[in-house]
Amino acid sequence: MADERLEDLLARLERERQAADAAYNEALSALDRALEPRVDLPHPPPPYDEVKIPDVNQAWNILPQGAPPIDGSLKGRLRAFVWRMVGPPLDAQKHFNATVVDHVNRNVAGHRETQKAIASVIALAGQHLERQIHLQAHLIRYLQTITLYVDTKDRAVKAEAQVVNAGLNSLASDWLKRWESLAARDARAAARMALVDDVRDTAAIAQQTALSLKREVEKLLAAPASPAETRRPGESSGPAVDLDSFKYLGFEDAFRGSTDEIRRRLAEYVPTFAGQTDVLDLGCGRGEFLELLKGAGIPARGLDLNHEMVEASRARGLDVVEGDALSYLTSLPDASLGGVFAAQVIEHLEPAYLARLLEASAHKLRPGGVIVLETINPACWVAFFESYLRDLTHVRPLHPETLKYLLRASGFSEITLEFRSPVAEWDRLRTAPKPAGDLPPAVADVIDTVNENVAKLNSRLFTYQDYAAIGRRR
């Protein structure tokens, strides 16, 4: 398998290299076709013709003598008549000739410099074009040599790749053999650990059984001859202790959580009982909440029907009574309690028993006293299927609104619901991701519908695993 993956990788790299070579050759051909052709530049203009300039400067004056002499003789009067006829036009022509000659003389230098500038520009353009063509030719030759250079490196890399491939194949084969050996060892070790865990659990149950029997034997040995016994108010005086009660203690240790974890969760309820006294913890179990109240300076007593739970709590110095909750409450004076607390208890009770228990709690609490009832949230599938159904002693789940109604009907007010222990994010349903870019409307509608349904299911079935109903006595 490793050889196949390596061969696929090398084949993919070879395809990518060939595609890059093709793109390079195409770009090189395009550059070759785009080279500037050699063009013929125009010749410099001929020099400015100045041959006739001296003649023009000498011939412009058509009246070098000026006006003819005029006197009173017949010839003088005739010259005057003729001059009056032809003199003004000749003067005008002379003035025109002078202006043209002056203009030509003024532009001689400009025409000379213009011819020189044009000749210089054509020469410089020719030199620049030659250098550009020379540079492009060298660039093409350089790029062509890169192809040969890369080809030689590619051949060297291929040879090295073959050597590396052979080495990797050898290493992969050796690694696979070692991995198979380690996997076999791990499987054997896992089997041995499973056996060890099974033996450990069996030993723990046996130890709890022995401790339970030891305590009962010690009680029998220490019991007075007289049948009369002194019992606490409400403490059970019925049949003998259930010798199987240790099994539920072991069940709680295994599935409810460690003492530290339960103490951390229950610590959030301690401030609710601030300023109260004579708090009663119904079904106190291992006594985690009693220890928290004791640490906060709030006087409290625990009550539990399970003998092993009671003994375990008393062993830690807690005030715990063994007996039935309803019988104990009815034995107390009215308005004698400051608070009643029950965590994960009421789901173990029959509905009629629970109704009488809530009514008795309302009578035994002082005005302003508080009751806190924590139970599993059956509206959460994770809590119902993984917690509620696992415990055989559960009788009936209680919907939050049902418990809230029962408290109100029993005489409690200011009733609130607090939800706790949210389902972990990785246990919730995940929404479908939307690919980047435009999607067909039908596909986008399907994704939106799926995500809306996922959100609805998460909001109803994968929410909080526990909740607490809190009420106060008027």
For residue 232, which amino acid is it?
Answer: R
Superfamily of domain 245-473: Vaccinia Virus protein VP39 (3.40.50.150)
- Answer whether residue 97 shows pLDDT above 60: yes
Q: Of 66-80, 145-159, 237-251, which one has max mean pLDDT?
A: 66-80
Residue 328 or residue 248, greater confidence: 328
The answer to which of 25-39, 116-130, 345-359, 430-444 has the lowest mean pLDDT is 25-39
CA angle 327, 333, 334 (to 5 degrees): 105
Question: Would you say the C-alpha torsion 130, 131, 133, 138 has a positive or negative sign?
Answer: positive
189/195 Cα distance (integer angstroms): 10
The token pair that represents 341 in the structure block = 């607390």
pLDDT tens digits, residue range 256-298?
A: 557 788 899 999 999 999 999 999 999 998 899 999 999 999 9
For residue 118, give the H/E element and its range: helix 74-222
Residue 217 or residue 30, greater confidence: 30
Instruction: Show Cβ contacts of residue 59 under 8 Å, excluding neighbours closer than 6 positions.
Output: 97
Length in residues, the chain: 474
Nearest to 6 by CA among 154, 172, 159, 156: 172
Q: What is the mean pLDDT of residues 343-361?
A: 94
pLDDT tens digits, residue range 149-168?
A: 666 656 556 656 565 556 66
What are the angstrom distances between the C-alpha of 164 and each of 11, 16, 18?
15, 20, 21
pLDDT tens digits, residue range 309-325?
A: 898 899 889 999 999 99
The reported pLDDT for the residue numbered 195 is 61
Q: Of 38-42, 104-108, 461-465, which one has max mean pLDDT?
A: 461-465
Q: Is 466 helix (H, G, I), strand (E, B) or coil?
A: strand
CB-based contact 250:205 (threshold 8 Å): yes
Q: What's the mean pLDDT when you consider all of the chain?
A: 79
Q: What is the mean pLDDT of residues 69-77?
A: 77
Question: How does strand 365-376 pair with strand 464-473?
Answer: antiparallel
For residue 269, give the H/E element and its range: none
The token pair that represents 472 in the structure block = 């106060």
The answer to which of 215-224, 267-276, 420-429, 450-459 has the lowest mean pLDDT is 215-224
The reported pLDDT for the residue numbered 229 is 43
CB-based contact 325:304 (threshold 8 Å): no
The reported pLDDT for the residue numbered 212 is 56
Domain ranges of the chain: 2-178, 245-473
**Cβ atoms within 10 Å of 290's Cβ, excluding its own:** 25
Q: How confident is the model at residue 336 (pLDDT cuts 50, 70, 90)?
A: very high
Token look-up 């003649």 returns 55
What are the angstrom distances between the C-alpha of 432 and each of 435, 441, 454?
9, 16, 9
**Cβ atoms within 10 Å of 185's Cβ, excluding its own:** 10
**Which phi and psi angles does 376 have, rounded to 5°?**
-70, 140
pLDDT tens digits, residue range 111-151?
A: 888 888 888 888 888 888 888 777 877 787 777 777 766 66
The reported pLDDT for the residue numbered 298 is 96
CB-based contact 255:249 (threshold 8 Å): no
Q: Of 59-68, 115-124, 212-221, 450-459, which one has max mean pLDDT?
A: 450-459
DSSP 8-state code for residue 425: G
Instruction: Show Cβ contacts of residue 340 under 8 Å, excluding neighbours closer than 6 positions.
Output: 279, 280, 282, 361, 364, 365, 369, 370, 371, 372
Nearest to 464 by CA among 371, 376, 347: 376
Token look-up 């309820």 returns 269
Nearest to 467 by CA among 269, 244, 216, 209: 269
The reported pLDDT for the residue numbered 48 is 72
The answer to which of 30-34, 190-194, 206-210 has the lowest mean pLDDT is 206-210
The reported pLDDT for the residue numbered 92 is 80
Beta strands in 245-316 (DSSP E): 279-282, 300-304
- Answer whether residue 199 shows pLDDT above 70: no
Full-prediction pTM beyond 0.75? Answer: no
Q: How confident is the model at residue 236 (pLDDT cuts 50, 70, 90)?
A: very low
70/51 Cα distance (integer angstroms): 40
281/428 Cα distance (integer angstroms): 34
Q: Is 304 helix (H, G, I), strand (E, B) or coil?
A: strand
Which residues, listed in sequence order, are joined to residue 281 by a DSSP beta bridge? 302, 341
CB-based contact 105:57 (threshold 8 Å): yes
The reported pLDDT for the residue numbered 41 is 75
119/398 Cα distance (integer angstroms): 106
